Amino acid sequence: MAERRAGDPEDAVLVRALAAGSEDALAALYDRHADGIHAVALRLTSDRQLAEEVVQETFLALWNRAELYDPAVASLATWLRTIARNRTVDRLRAAGRRPPLVPLPGLGDEGEADAGFERLRPDAVVLGGASADPGPEAAAESAEVRAAVAAALATMPDVERTVIILAYREGLTQSEIAERLHWPLGTVKTRTRRALAHLRHALEADDEPVGTGGPRDGW
Amino acid sequence: MEHDEALERIEIAAAEPGGLERLMAGDTADAAAVAGHLAGCAACTAEMARIRRSASVAREVIRTQPDPALRERTLAFVRQAGVARGPAAAGATAGAAAAGAAPGAGSSVVAPASGPRAGAARGEPAPTAAPVSLADERRRREGRGLRAAVAVLAAALVFAVGAGVAAYRSLSSELNATTTEQAQQIDVLEATTRATLAISAAPDAVRVPLTATPGGGDAVGTLLFSPSSGELVAVASDLEPEQAGQEYGCWIEVDGTRTRIGKMYWAGDLWAWAGPVPGLADVPDGALFGVSLGSVDGGGESTPVLTGEL
ipTM: 0.71
Question: In 3D, which of B261, B159, B270 has the Cα closest to residue B221?
Answer: B270
Average pLDDT over residues A135-156: 81
Tens of pLDDT, residue by residue over A95-134, are 776 655 544 444 333 334 333 332 333 333 333 333 345 5
- Which band of pLDDT confidence, cut at 50, 70 and 90, is reported for residue A28? very high
The answer to whether the Cβ–Cβ distance between B78 and A87 falls below 8 Å is: no
User: Per-residue pLDDT averaged across A52-71, rounded?
Assistant: 91
| Distance (Å, whole) CA B53 – CA B48 | 9
pLDDT at B288: 92
Closest C-alpha among B187, B224, B204, B278 to residue A81: B278
CB-based contact A136 B57, cutoff 8 Å: yes
What residues of chain B, 70 to 109, have a C-beta less than 8 Å from chain A? 70-71, 73-75, 77-79, 81-89, 104-108
Q: Which residues of B touch A78 (CB under 8 A)?
A: 278
Given A52, A90, A167, which is nearest B66 (Cβ)?
Answer: A52
Mean pLDDT of B152-169: 47
What average pLDDT does this structure show over A147-164? 90
Q: Does residue B206 surpass a pLDDT of 60? A: yes
B65·A38 Cβ contact <8 A: yes
How open is the CA angle A69-A70-A71, to the nearest 5 degrees? 115
Name which of B64, B180, B185, B273 to mutate to probe chain A: the one with the most chain A Cβ atoms within 10 A of its Cβ. Answer: B64
More confident site: B286 or B131: B286
B 139-178 residues with CB < 8 A to A: none
Distance between CA A14 and CA A22 in Å, rounded? 9
pLDDT at B229: 86
Contacts of residue B123, defined as CB under 8 A and 6 or more positions apart, other chains included, come to: none
The rounded distance, in Å, linking the Cα atoms of B248 and B308 is: 16
pLDDT at A29: 94
Lowest mean pLDDT among A137-151, B79-93, B201-215, B261-275: B79-93
pLDDT of residue B169: 52
Nearest to A25 by CA among A37, A7, A13, A36: A13
pLDDT the model gives residue B121: 35
The reply to whether residue B104 touches residue A57, judged by beta carbons under 8 angstroms, is yes
